């Protein structure tokens, strides 16, 4: 009600209780029996209350509850990447992005379920069971950040953090009918994000509104001495950019986003959104980028190669409960059933093979050449237009289990999001309508460090009569 004042503690309690008391860790350590959409990992109730008591009331996010993906470090809290191999591991420090949110008054109220080590497109690869889409519980919420997307789409929290490697925020945002915003690679520090593919990974927010996504990304962005890949370019006023409209902006519709495999209902929603942008004064044209057809193949070599290198540290000796094993017998007992899951094993094997002697030139080096070509072509196209437009995903959210036995069809869910990730360009998914009663996402990709223009177009698209569906 307008004029009503609430405290940060009241907000935190409402979120905690609204999510379902069974989600939260109990003093006895017993596992929660219930879990709304299986979107959450157990979290410490006392930690939430402690944050609410000392919230920065002058901050831009004062009292706003935020959920973290389970691969972001928060000192004193579990950070398990939804993997048995990290079960019991507690973060010894806080990720830079999380610290920046807290400095602005945000309250971290939970951790979300995810595909194990962020490897997947449906959040069905979690060691703790599949997450579900709040809009249709027999459908996936997307992945790998599906738990965070479900928390926002289900109305539990207004904001959540995920991580992007090849579309792991934009694709779940599309499936759940919310906003998922990936800034330029290097805008947000990776310090405290458990690495999957270091040349691709970036922390990214979910929100119900482009302005909220812009605010969270703006707060988290900026150079960090703890991460040498962070950019020094000024961030600017991304929230203000959302109000500037699209008159005179050049919008390029990707021909490759209309190809085989894209559902007719998805195409119809995207076409309607593009027409709306045209009515608002945007100049629309069609753009062909044939090299982007190489993107998924290149990604499926580069990302596993980097994952194989990054995950070599998880040898069962240094992290989780096995690190405290006193004898080899204890280690053997604790190791049973606690290794990597099938998808993580698959990608480590693929990555190791592609880097092996005699094959690196054939696979990894060629994939990097394809990446360079895709990046150059996208940057060249963005000299002629201000943003590139396509569907976020070729389909609406698919049914649980529908693709779990076919890795290739699962990887195809990211075919339209991967190019922006390989090129390190800013991109966003916003809801643009419904097909078969399920949300459709509109993807916008912009120039390096030109998040402001991407947000301008995204805001116009979501306030044109085809707004958020969650």
Decide the pairing of beta strands 427-435 and 283-287: unpaired
Cβ contacts of residue 36 below 8 Å, gap of 6+? 19, 20, 23, 154, 156
Length of the chain: 470
Other C-beta atoms within 10 Å of 148: how many? Answer: 41
Choosing from 82, 122, 130, 168, the catalytic residue is 168
Instruction: Let me know if 148 is a catalytic residue.
Output: no
Which token pair is 145? 């950040």
Secondary structure of residue 104 in the 3-state scheme: coil
Distance in Å from the first CA to the final CA of the chain: 21
Secondary structure of residue 294 in the 3-state scheme: helix
Choosing from 82, 112, 130, 144, the catalytic residue is 144
Could you tell me if 108 and 45 are in contact, meaning their C-beta atoms sit under 8 angstroms apart?
Answer: no
Q: H helices of 382-433, where? A: 407-411, 418-423
Write the DSSP symbol of residue 246.
-
Instruction: Let me know if 145 is a catalytic residue.
Output: no
- State how far the Cα of 419 lies from the Cα of 422, in Å rounded to an integer: 5
Instruction: Let me know if 82 is a catalytic residue.
Output: no
DSSP of 120-151? -SSS---TT----BTTBTTB---SSSHHHHHH
Place of tokens 């990214």: 204
- State how far the Cα of 51 lies from the Cα of 101, in Å rounded to an integer: 12
- Rounded CA Rg of the chain: 21
- State how far the Cα of 246 lies from the Cα of 124, in Å rounded to an integer: 38
Could you tell me if 355 and 349 are in contact, meaning their C-beta atoms sit under 8 angstroms apart?
Answer: no
Secondary structure of residue 86 in the 3-state scheme: helix
Which token pair is 55? 């919230």
- State how far the Cα of 456 lies from the Cα of 470, in Å rounded to an integer: 21
Choosing from 69, 189, 291, 421, the catalytic residue is 69
- State how far the Cα of 7 lies from the Cα of 200, in Å rounded to an integer: 39
CA distance readout (Å), 108 to 133, 338, 353: 22, 28, 40
**For residue 53, which phi and psi values (nearest 5 degrees)?**
-70, -30
Residues annotated catalytic, as ranges: 69, 144, 168
């Amino acid at each position: 009600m307008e004029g009503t004042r609430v405290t940060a503690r009241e907000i935190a309690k409402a979120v905690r209780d609204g999510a379902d008391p069974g989600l939260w860790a109990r003093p006895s350590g017993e596992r929660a029996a219930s879990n709304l959409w299986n979107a959450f990992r157990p979290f410490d109730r006392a930690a939430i209350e402690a944050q609410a008591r000392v919230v920065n009331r002058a901050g831009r996010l004062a009292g706003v509850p935020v959920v973290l993906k389970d691969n972001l470090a928060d000192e004193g809290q579990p950070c398990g990447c939804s993997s048995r191999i990290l079960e019991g591991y507690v973060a010894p420090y806080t990720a830079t992005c999380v610290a920046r949110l807290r400095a602005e008054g945000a309250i971290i109220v939970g951790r979300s379920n995810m595909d194990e080590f962020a490897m997947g497109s449906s959040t069905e690869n979690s060691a703790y069971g599949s997450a579900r889409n709040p809009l249709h519980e027999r459908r996936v919420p997307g992945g790998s950040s599906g738990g965070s997307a479900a928390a926002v789409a289900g109305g539990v929290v207004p904001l959540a953090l995920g991580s992007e490697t090849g579309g792991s925020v934009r694709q779940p945002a599309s499936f759940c009918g919310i906003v998922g915003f990936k800034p330029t690679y290097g805008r947000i520090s990776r310090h405290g994000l458990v690495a999957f593919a270091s040349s691709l990974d970036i922390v990214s927010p979910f929100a119900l509104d482009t302005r909220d996504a812009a605010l969270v990304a703006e707060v988290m962005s900026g150079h960090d001495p703890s991460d040498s890949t962070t950019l020094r370019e000024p961030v600017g006023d991304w929230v203000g950019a959302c109000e500037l409209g699209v008159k005179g902006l050049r919008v390029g519709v990707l021909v490759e986003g209309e190809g085989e495999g894209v559902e007719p209902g998805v195409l119809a929603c995207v076409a309607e959104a593009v027409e709306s942008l045209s009515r608002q004064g945007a100049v629309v044209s069609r753009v062909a980028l044939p090299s982007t057809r190489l993107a998924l193949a290149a990604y499926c070599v580069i990302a596993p190669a980097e994952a194989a290198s990054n995950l070599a540290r998880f040898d069962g000796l240094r992290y989780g409960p096995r690190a405290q094993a006193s004898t080899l017998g204890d280690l053997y007992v604790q190791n049973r059933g606690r290794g990597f899951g099938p998808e993580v094993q698959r990608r480590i094997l693929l990555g190791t093979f592609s880097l092996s002697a005699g094959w690196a030139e054939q696979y990894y080096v060629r994939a990097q050449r394809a990446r360079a070509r895709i990046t150059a072509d996208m940057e060249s196209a963005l000299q002629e237009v201000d943003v590139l437009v396509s569907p976020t995903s070729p389909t609406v959210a698919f049914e649980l289990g529908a693709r779990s036995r076919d890795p290739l069809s699962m990887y195809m869910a990211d075919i339209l999001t991967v190019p922006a990730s390989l090129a390190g360009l800013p991109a966003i998914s916003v809801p643009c309508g419904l097909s078969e009663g399920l949300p459709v996402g509109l993807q916008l990709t912009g120039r390096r460090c030109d998040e402001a223009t991407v947000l301008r177009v995204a805001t116009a698209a979501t306030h044109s009569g085809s707004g958020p569906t969650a």
